[in-house]
Chain A
Amino acid sequence: MERRSLAATIFVHLAALLLLAVILAPVLWLFVMSISSTPDLIAKPLHWWPDTVDLSRYGVLLSSVANSAGQAFVASLFNSIKVAGMATIAALIVAIPSAWAVSRTPSVGWSLYAVIATYMLPPVALAVPLYMALSWLGLLNNVFGLALVYLTILAPFTTWLLKSGFDSIPREIESAATMDGARLDQILRIITLPLAAPVMATAALFAFLLAWDEFFYALLFTSDQRAKTLTVAIADLAGGRVSDYGLIATAGVLAALPPLLIGLFMQRALISGLTSGGVKG
């Protein structure tokens, strides 16, 4: 082990403090804005910590009083959960068999590159025909329609991630079971899928986060409370006539909470996914 000089140790700790401040300050400020009263937020000089903690905006946004800001927000929250949930499940259903097949069959491996290539496609390349098709099918402003469109992003991504997951499960285990006379569906059900459970969970989390985060398609294809997702609702608040900055911040805190919690608690799984999916390629 390397022995550091005192000066180097101090420097490392100062740099770490700086990094901590850079990472935390914006997130903390979002939270502080959400609990500050409006006079505190528009005071000059600005009050960095409110005189009294004001939690009323959380009540406003999570209330279900008809035609209130809360009702619209809660509706968009449920829409986000529905769309992200459905799109994630559908993506896993189509991705799991494909990822396994690509992983175990070198002769079709090239098709994975086609899948990855579609993931690089800019959404604008598909947006116009998708809009026309959804309109023709009557699926504009509809959670099913939006979930279907999200498959364009989630299906290639989960296939890619799951393929590298299946690669790490030795195929000898499957061969041994085949020798013992197990059928393919038995092998997958009893051996491979249970072994792949952690990577499937990681893929599901990533897919859910991607869908939760999505904005472009949601902006194009939804127009009111029936399908509008949280990201669109927040963009509306931020760009609209709302002058209560604390309310905008509160909506941001609530929308950020699920992914932040997933991020903090599932850290290990997410980072291994990031490095295996993103680094090995």
Chain B
Amino acid sequence: MTNNWITTRAWFLMLPLLIVMVAIIGWPLFDTVRLSFTDAKLVGTAGNFVGFENYVRILSGPNFQRTLITTFWFAVLSVSAEMVIGVLAALLLNQQFYGRSVLRALMILPWALPTVVNATLWRLIYNPEYGALNAALTQMGIIGAYQSWLGEPGTALASLIVADCWKNFPLVALIALAALQAVPRDITAAAMVDGAGAWSRFRFVIMPYLAGPLMVALVLRTIEAFKVFDIIWVMTRGGPANSTRTLSILVYQEAFSFQRAGSGASLALIVTLLVTILAVAYAALIRKSAGVS
């Protein structure tokens, strides 16, 4: 068989996937670009061409800037907490202790819990009148009066981050644990014989094994955190006083609550562009770190 024929055969086998992807991803993406230059409504009017008006209005408005900052803090704080706690948990799960295999198995629970159920669960835990967090903290004497964790702009975002972190750090832990198990025992033993302390063993012997997988986890988690919608919608709907409104929530409100399809589309494309920049920057970072190690 010639190479030409093999390539043709490959495209032929990929045809069903390509047709589906063009129909439900390619075309909608293209149409979002078209809509972003119009003043179309979600239902009814097709809209007129308005040039860059939507973009100018969004980028210069206070809503977008504030939402971008909220999204940035949500992504940075939740992902970095997940990475640190995840690696610590993985180091622990790599030690010998009673019940280790049971604990390793249980780590899958938060990951498997549907995001909406997780959000609902934490919303109940944070409930201002009957929630378990208020009850526990009061009974331990840490707080004097019940707090409205999700109802105060000062605590709402932090409370969301805790809920998101609880769901996602086990995934980081499982990925890091798989990488730790690939570290040859004789290398760590040799480092110990040579007198390396715990920190230098982690930094110089174990970390090179962890870096690659953790980098990939970091990329995927950051992009997901940047696109976050479910957990925030279920817990706060972006409130109170828009203090937890992230970019995806803003797009939802613009395009579907206010039915402004045109400006919703431009906002969606700005979000897409930001995610793309993140993805490309990270891809370059990974390639670079893979080249070094």
Contact = CB atoms under 8 A, between A and B. Distances in A.
A213 interface: yes
A165 interface: no
Question: Secondary structure at chain A's binding surface: helix, strand, loop or mixed?
Answer: helix
A39 B25 CA distance: 50
A187 to B, nearest CB: 12
A104 interface: yes
Contact of A274 (B11, B130, B174): B174
Interface in A230-247: 230-231, 234-235, 237-239, 245
A279 B212 contact: yes
A83 interface: no
A77 interface: no
A251 B132 CA distance: 18
Interface string B151-192: 000000000000000100011001100110000000001001
A215 B10 contact: no
B192 A98 contact: no
Interface residues on A, range: 35 or more
Contacts of B28: 125-126, 128-130, 133
B135 interface: yes
Interface in B91-143: 92-93, 95-100, 103, 105-117, 119-125, 127, 129-130, 132, 135-136, 138-139
A152 B24 contact: yes
B60 interface: no
B110 A23 contact: yes
Interface of A: 2, 4, 9, 12-13, 15-16, 19-20, 22-24, 26-27, 29-30, 33, 41-42, 44-46, 93-95, 97-98, 100-102, 104-105, 107-108, 111, 115, 117-118, 120-133, 135, 148-149, 151-152, 155-156, 159, 184, 209, 212-213, 215-216, 219-220, 230-231, 234-235, 237-239, 245, 248-249, 251-252, 255-256, 259-260, 262-264, 267, 270-271, 274-275, 278-279, 281
